A and B are shown apart, each in its own frame.
Chain A
Amino acid sequence: MTKRFMVRPALCIGCRTCELACSLTHQEGKTPGRTRIYPLAVGKEKWVPVACLQCDDPACVKSCLVDALRMNEELGYIELLQERCIKCRACVAACPFGCSLIDEEQEIIVKCDLCEGNPACARFCPTKALEYK
């Protein structure tokens, strides 16, 4: 069975290590505020790390008219083929969870790819609020 990305918001302490890990993995440590994972405060000391849920019936894939997004069956994540993307923002507008993002600086669309099977955010999460197993 493919591994699952597990989020346990109750364990999240809002330390933003996941953001930093994501930023260092994907964009050389630049703009940790615009990464593929977002720990959002929902109350006093309550945090929810929001990241792509790799839906079974993904709106982003359906909205892509040039097939730049596709399900990677082997690793169980939705893959964004950067070379094919024409930056029309359809997936950004269509994702019901808001997890397809625009990197304004590099002018590209970014989306969680579970680090192709070894997500850095989960590896570095000190409280195991994020796990990949």
Chain B
Amino acid sequence: MKIQINGRWYKAREGEMVLDVLRREGIEVPALCAHEAVEPYGACRLCMVEITHEDWGGWKGNVTSCLYPVEDKLIVQTHTEDVIELRKMVLNLLLARCPNTPEIQKLAEEYGIDITDFVPREDADDCIMCGLCTRVCTQMGFNAISVAGRGYDREVATPLKEAPPDCVGCLACVNICPTNHIKYQDVGTTREIWGRQFELVKCKECGKALITREFADYLIKNRDIPADYFDVCDDCKRAGTAKNFKKLVHWEEKEEAEEEVSV
């Protein structure tokens, strides 16, 4: 299947979305709520593009490319006047919601918006309500956080706004957040996130910590990974691999090989 983007034809695969093709071909379209680890959602509205088709009798429409499945001979325009105007409006609104967020400020500036036309939120934080954190948490099977409240009070929160019992402290939400809204703290071998404290698994040999005890236990129980795999860190495991190899290697091979080379 082929689709036309900005006048050029590109290959597309059945079942993928227009944004997937745009990203694969390196065609710049802003998108804050799209991540390959989760299903498309259409929250940020920044990836709007214009679509049309030769069979549609001249009909054109503006759609979110992350949610629009490709079809053969689809014609896509990523930077028409209308589309840019739409993105400007979205950024204008986002800037009112998050006036102090560097990621939003930068993107808005790229579209020529320095100051929002709307009233900026007074108690502003960095959350743009894209839902990536809650979606990735669900995708990973924890469901520890969710969107709570309505309208102005809508926010990402833990159940009853208490320390979440299902969280394992994997930091998926922190790493996926496009605006660095979610904060955590690692002090020594203790991790604090969402108001809950986790103990990190310490390497038995060097003390380096990689993941939390709860996360390791989850992987052992649900993913069929032997418990002792988590006892030592990656550095010490590599050293262990080298030591195990040492036992297996017939070092006299070296002399034999040298003879081969000299012939």
Do these two chains really belong together in a complex? yes
- What is A's interface to B at a CB cutoff of 8 Å? 7-11, 38, 40, 42-43, 46, 48, 50, 59, 62-63, 65-68, 81, 83-90, 92-102, 127-128
Number of interface residues of B (CB under 8 A): 47
- What is B's interface to A at a CB cutoff of 8 Å? 23, 35-38, 136, 139-141, 170-172, 175-176, 201, 210-211, 215-216, 219, 223-226, 229-230, 232-243, 245-246, 249-254, 257
Asked whether A96 lies within 8 Å of B238 as measured between CB atoms, the reply is no
What residues on B are CB-neighbors of A128 within 8 Å?
257
* Cα of A110 to Cα of B230 in the assembled complex, Å: 19
Q: A40-B239, A63-B219 are in contact. Are A93 and B257 (CB under 8 A)?
A: no
- The chain A residue with its CB closest to the CB of B235 is A98
Asked whether A93 lies within 8 Å of B210 as measured between CB atoms, the reply is yes
Asked whether A93 lies within 8 Å of B201 as measured between CB atoms, the reply is yes
Closest chain A CB from B133 CB (angstroms) = 10
Closest chain A CB from B149 CB (angstroms) = 25
Which of A46, A66, A90 has most chain B Cβ within 10 Å? A90
What residues on A are CB-neighbors of B176 within 8 Å?
86
Asked whether A50 lies within 8 Å of B242 as measured between CB atoms, the reply is yes
Cross-chain contact of A11 among B37, B210, B235, B253 (Cβ < 8 A): B253
Asked whether A87 lies within 8 Å of B171 as measured between CB atoms, the reply is yes
* Cα of A101 to Cα of B233 in the assembled complex, Å: 11
What residues on A are CB-neighbors of B249 within 8 Å?
9-10, 48
Cross-chain contact of B211 among A46, A59, A90, A99 (Cβ < 8 A): A90
What residues on B are CB-neighbors of A8 within 8 Å?
253
Closest chain B CB from A130 CB (angstroms) = 13
Asked whether A50 lies within 8 Å of B243 as measured between CB atoms, the reply is no
Q: A10-B250, A88-B170 are in contact. Are A98 and B223 (CB under 8 A)?
A: no
* Cα of A117 to Cα of B181 in the assembled complex, Å: 40
Q: A59-B229, A68-B37 are in contact. Are A46 and B215 (CB under 8 A)?
A: no
What residues on A are CB-neighbors of B172 within 8 Å?
65-66, 86, 88
CB pairs A–B below 8 angstroms (19 shown) = A10-B250, A10-B253, A42-B245, A48-B249, A50-B241, A59-B229, A63-B225, A65-B172, A81-B36, A83-B23, A83-B36, A86-B176, A88-B211, A88-B215, A89-B210, A95-B229, A99-B241, A100-B234, A102-B234
- The chain B residue with its CB closest to the CB of A82 is B36
Asked whether A92 lies within 8 Å of B140 as measured between CB atoms, the reply is no
Asked whether A93 lies within 8 Å of B216 as measured between CB atoms, the reply is yes
- The chain A residue with its CB closest to the CB of B38 is A66
* Cα of A102 to Cα of B201 in the assembled complex, Å: 17
Which of A10, A40, A85, A99 has most chain B Cβ within 10 Å? A10
Asked whether B215 lies within 8 Å of A90 as measured between CB atoms, the reply is yes
Closest chain A CB from B59 CB (angstroms) = 33
Q: A9-B249, A67-B37, A92-B210 are in contact. List 13 more A-B contacts (CB 8 A).
A: A40-B242, A42-B245, A48-B249, A59-B229, A65-B140, A66-B38, A66-B136, A86-B175, A93-B210, A93-B216, A98-B237, A98-B239, A102-B234
What residues on B are CB-neighbors of A46 within 8 Å?
246, 251
What residues on B are CB-neighbors of A59 within 8 Å?
225, 229
* Cα of A99 to Cα of B170 in the assembled complex, Å: 20
